Amino acid sequence: MSPFFIITGIVTLLGAVFAMSLRNLVHCALAMAVAFSGIAALYLQLDAQFVGFAEILVYVGAIAILIVFAILLTRSGEAPEKSVLTSGWLAGIAVSAVVFTMLGWAVLNSSAIPKETPPAPVATVKNVGDALMTKFVLPLEIIAAMIGAVIIALKEESKNENSGRKS
């Protein structure tokens, strides 16, 4: 449990809490970006270099921007009206609390957790590439097909938007 690890942990958790609790949506988005970069730092500490950089590229680079765009497009940049929570918010928090206690209890005293930390695995880009291309080639192609499908769907989406505006 190196100090650096704790710091990044705290940073991500704070980012997450703020992302969920701030009133202004843009602030939430930025807090989320902070949380994601914190998680990327955690990845780097867990010697998953490629995933860390990918995390930054995908989440902080693309999804944050996407969400911010969405916020602007739905004109909810300004401070919202009086209450920010839905009607049944208390039950929601209760359930999440229960979920956390369950997971925490499971993590803390489950016997299956190995005590010693194994040596840092070598996850160079080459053997990630090899793994991708040999063992995991099928999922790779499926994901590519999936993203293609999304793009095709979005294209129709935009067409609807145009039609939406016209009508």
- Binders in 94-123 for other proteins, by CB under 8 A: 95-100, 102-104, 106-108, 110, 112-115, 117-118, 120-123
Residue 36: in which H helix or E strand, if any? Answer: helix 25-45
CA 21 from centre of chain: 17
For other proteins, which residue of 4, 132, 141, 159 counts as binding (CB under 8 A)?
A: 132
- Name the DSSP letter for residue 46: T
Question: What does residue 116 show for φ and ψ, rounded to 5 degrees?
Answer: -85, 150
Quote the tokens at residue 53. 């950089």
Long-range contacts of 145-150 (CB under 8 A, 24+ apart): none
Site string for other proteins, 32-71 (x = CB under 8 A): xx-xx--x--xx--xxxxxx-xxxxxxxxxxxxxxxxxxx
What is the smallest separation between the CB atom of 21 and other proteins, expressed in angstroms? 8
Quote the tokens at residue 134. 């040999």
What is the smallest separation between the CB atom of 107 and other proteins, expressed in angstroms? 4
Which amino acid appears at position 167 of this protein? Answer: S
State how far the Cα of 100 lies from the Cα of 107, in Å rounded to an integer: 10
Interacting residues with other proteins between 142 and 161 (CB under 8 A):
143, 146-147, 150, 153-154, 157, 160-161
Site string for other proteins, 8-27 (x = CB under 8 A): -x--xx--xx-xxx--xxxx
> According to the binding rule CB under 8 A, does residue 163 interact with other proteins?
no
